[in-house]
Amino acid sequence: MIGYECSPDRGSESGAGFAVFRALTSAARCTVLVGKADAESLEKWASDHPDAGVTVVRVDESVVGNALYRLHHYTQFVSYLLWLRRATPRLRELAATGRYRVAWHVSYSPAWLPSPLRHLHEIPTVWGPCTGADRVPGPLRGALSRRSRTRDVLDNLSTWVLSRLPSTRRSRKSSYRPRWSTFLR
């Protein structure tokens, strides 16, 4: 499982990633590739729950990635893409062992950014639930400040451009993408 942010101790993306991860551990032994920010708390959880059969693989961010993450909201996605580049060789190495039945990209998995799952051809892959950069509904745009409307336009434009990258298109074609309704049944 790719869980860039996946922690039992934090909310938002980390908490959502952990919720999916926890559900997976009830059905299978899991290996999770995780970023430095959540690795320690996830390793502690795994040691407190040895019966879950969890392996935590920490993939550190680069120096540039760390700096970009702290710089601005938009540069966090560049930082994440740099982290994915560092995680991809480890993901391929793990997949090549033949020990895994499926690879799942869980956290930070918006449909408008490429996923390293597109490099795995030996095992089935699942991408999502895809989240992030949702559009502000039309009726609510009037409630936004000028700055927020500008940011919404920039978000929509950047996600539109990134979703059309060849690597993002290959990610969509190579992976099963569950819908939220799949999890809400």
The structure's pTM equals 0.75
Q: In the chain, which residues have pLDDT < 70? A: 109-111, 129-137, 140, 176-185
Tokens of 67: 């700096």
Q: Would you state the pLDDT for residue 55?
A: 96
Q: How many CA atoms lie within 13 A of 99 on its CB side?
A: 10
Residue the block writes with tokens 């430095």: 36
Q: Would you state the pLDDT for residue 185?
A: 45
Q: Would you state the pLDDT for residue 157?
A: 85
Query: In what helix (H) or strand (E) does residue 24 lie, and over which residues does it extend?
Result: helix 12-25
Burial class from Cβ neighbours inside 10 Å (0-12, 13-18, 19+) for residue 36 reads: middle
User: What distance in Å separates the CA atoms of residue 185 and residue 170, rounded to the nearest whole number?
Assistant: 29
